[in-house]
């Protein structure tokens, strides 16, 4: 852009490189090469298009170039505006994304805490249930042992008194026999 501006300014003052006493007075719209009056007779084809140069006066060329420069400048300005709004939108998207992911992480933590809490309470319930059942089984076992042992004991006492009675009887028989 600055190069174009510099060239546009130079056009007015530069003398021809080949014919040093002649100022440039025409230029090609396509390749932007400049010519003096003496150059015109030996002109080759345009380096941009490969056909004849599109020659016009330096004033014309200069004003066309200025228009091009203005158009390019305003286009660039628009692009800069577009770029600025794009980058603003991108940074907004990024900040949305960050807050969204933070919310998600927070949610995961909360879920994790809730799950741990739920599991813990389930285990506590299971443990309480287990203790209750163990107590019930213990009670049954001790009831069974007590009843069984009591029965055995009473059977034992009955047996013992029966044996004692028999012994007494035998003793009486012996005493009677001896007395004969
Ligand atoms: Zn010349
Ligand atoms: Zn040309």
Average pLDDT of every residue of the chain:
87
Q: Describe the strand order of the beta sheet including 26-28 as a list of residue ranges.
A: 34-35, 26-28, 55-57
Residues with CB under 5 A from ligand 1 (ion): 16, 18-19, 36, 38-39
Ligand nearest to the CA of 41: 1
Dist. CA 48 → ligand 2 center (Å): 6
Q: Report the C-alpha gap between 8 and 125 in whole angstroms.
A: 91
What's the pTM value of the predicted model, to 2 decimals? 0.42
pLDDT, mean of residues 7-18:
68
Kindly list the domain boundaries of the chain, sorted by start residue.
1-137
Q: How many helices (H) and strands (E) does the chain have?
A: 2, 3
The encoded tokens of residue 163 equal 């044996």
* Cβ atoms within 10 Å of 108's Cβ, excluding its own: 10
Dist. CA 60 → ligand 2 center (Å): 15
- How high is the pLDDT of residue 175? 80
Summarize pLDDT for 58-89 with one digit per residue, the tens.
999 989 989 989 999 999 888 888 889 888 98
Q: Report the C-alpha gap between 139 and 147 in whole angstroms.
A: 12
């Amino acid at each position: 852009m600055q190069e174009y501006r510099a060239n546009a300014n130079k056009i007015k003052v530069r003398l021809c490189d080949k014919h040093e006493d002649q100022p440039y007075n025409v230029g090609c719209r396509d390749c932007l090469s400049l010519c003096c009056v003496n150059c015109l007779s030996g002109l080759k084809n345009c380096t941009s298009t490969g056909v004849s140069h599109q020659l016009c006066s330096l004033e014309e060329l200069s004003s066309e170039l200025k228009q091009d420069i203005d158009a390019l400048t305003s286009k660039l300005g628009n692009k800069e505006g577009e770029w600025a709004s794009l980058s603003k939108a991108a940074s907004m998207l990024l900040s949305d994304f960050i807050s969204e992911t933070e919310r998600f992480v927070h949610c995961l933590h909360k879920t994790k805490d809730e799950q741990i809490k739920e599991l813990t309470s389930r285990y506590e319930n299971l443990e309480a249930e287990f203790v209750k059942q163990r107590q019930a089984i213990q009670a049954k076992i001790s009831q069974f042992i007590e009843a069984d042992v009591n029965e055995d004991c009473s059977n034992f006492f009955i047996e013992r008194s029966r044996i004692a009675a028999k012994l007494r009887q035998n003793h009486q028989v012996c005493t009677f026999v001896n007395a004969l």
